[in-house]
Amino acid sequence: MKKVLLITDFSKPWNNGWYYKKGFERNNCEVLSINPQDVKDHYDVVFNAIERFKPDFILHTKDELPVEIFEEARQKVPLIQWYPDPVIPDWLIPYVKACDIFFTMAEGLVEEFRKINPRSFWLTQAFEPEFFEIGDITEKDRKLFSSDVAFVGNLGSKKQYLQRRRYLKRVIKEGINLKWWGPKIPLKLSTIALLTGGIGRSYGGRFVWGEEYAKVARLSKIFLAFDSMPHIRKSMSARMYTAVGCGAFYMCQYVDGIEDVLEPDREIITFNSEDEMIEKIRYYLVRDDLRNKISRAGRMRVNNEHTYNVRIKEMLDYVEKYL
């Protein structure tokens, strides 16, 4: 039985650390979790845990602790990092250097990371079914969560979100029923027009997670999605696995290499432009049987091949080979 010291953010119930923990446990690993936000003296907590728990390795994700703590911890126990974003910010470089194995969720960045750490590999994200189980679907649920097109995500002012706004505005302009869910857009001078326009009127009213997220996925006819860096090969976020695993008919902007993971036109639908997006939305909205067939195929594929049970098993295979 492997013993894993998992150091990552557990402050919200939707943080990936909970999924990783469950994946390790499903693979018969014993897990000790540390949420850096819950402790003051990080140094003592980490090294006391190493001494007491004697882990086979440490797994972390971002910059949860000062890199110096990870560098020193690595002298006592192997260190693994699984970075969940498709970018390489300057602060990340020392952390990549400080680990024995580095995993990126974006295959297109592997070669860049290998210039920093030769033991860098692609490990895509996944779906943890236990956190998205649905009980009864009531008439209230149907009224609240049903829509022709749903979007779940952030529509804030960061550069990577502006394209999402443009595409969703086009959906609304075409007269298609849209409902989106996510963090509320803050009210300020620059957002008044957005909030009083179609985007604001299409807001579902809250951030959804867990059972509510699954109900949005199940009750919307089309679950629309946009990844931050679609030009980076296989940089799909966990959103794809989660939505499809919950039973969504998933339509997303094409990500380079996505066909190696889920098959377009059979398990998901992809598009390359606004016009193609609208064309496909109109085509599939009136074809219930075809949507159901595609969503069932996608859900089966994700639940067979892309759960955290499977993904952690893949990680442990790398551990056996390289540590």
Q: What's 213's domain CATH number? A: 3.40.50.2000
Same domain, residue pair 286 and 300 = yes
Residue 157: per-residue pLDDT: 77
Phi–psi pair at 128, nearest 5 degrees: -115, 100
Write b or e for each residue in 8-42: b if 16 or more Cβ atoms lie within 10 A of its Cβ, otherwise e.
bbbeeeeebbbbbbbbbebbebebbbbebeeeeee
Positive/negative CA dihedral, 37, 38, 42, 45: negative
pTM score: 0.94
Specify the number of domains making up the chain.
2
Same domain, residue pair 28 and 68 = yes
Residue 270: per-residue pLDDT: 98
pLDDT digits (tens, 9 = 90+) for 253-262: 999 999 999 9
Same domain, residue pair 189 and 120 = no
Same domain, residue pair 94 and 149 = no
Q: 251: pLDDT confidence band, cut at 50, 70 and 90? A: very high
Same domain, residue pair 121 and 228 = no
Mark out the alpha helices in the chain (DSSP H runs).
16-26, 42-53, 67-73, 92-97, 110-114, 139-145, 159-173, 192-196, 198-201, 211-219, 238-245, 274-285, 288-305, 308-322
Same domain, residue pair 151 and 171 = yes
Please provide the average confidence, as pLDDT, over all residues in the chain: 96
Rounded percentage of the chain residues whose pLDDT exceeds 90: 91
Containing 4, the helix (H) or strand (E) segment is strand 3-7
Residue 210: per-residue pLDDT: 97
Which residue has 């290998």 as its token pair? 114
Q: Which of 19-28, 37-46, 127-136 has the lowest mean pLDDT?
A: 37-46
Residue 187: per-residue pLDDT: 84
Same domain, residue pair 206 and 236 = yes
Structural domain including 180 reads 134-305
Residue 189: per-residue pLDDT: 83
Residue 172: per-residue pLDDT: 97
Query: C-alpha distances in angstroms, 93 versus 57, 102, 238?
Result: 21, 11, 23
Same domain, residue pair 285 and 159 = yes
**Which residues lie closer than 8 Å to 70 by C-beta, 6 or more apart?**
58, 60, 79, 95, 98, 99
Same domain, residue pair 182 and 148 = yes
Per DSSP, the chain holds a count of helices (H) and strands (E) of 14, 11
Asked whether the predicted pLDDT for residue 160 surpasses 80, the reply is no
Contact 74, 67 (CB under 8 A): no
What are 288's two structure tokens? 């219930």
pLDDT digits (tens, 9 = 90+) for 29-82: 999 999 999 888 899 999 999 999 999 999 999 999 999 999 999 999 999 999
Which residue has 């505005």 as its token pair? 169
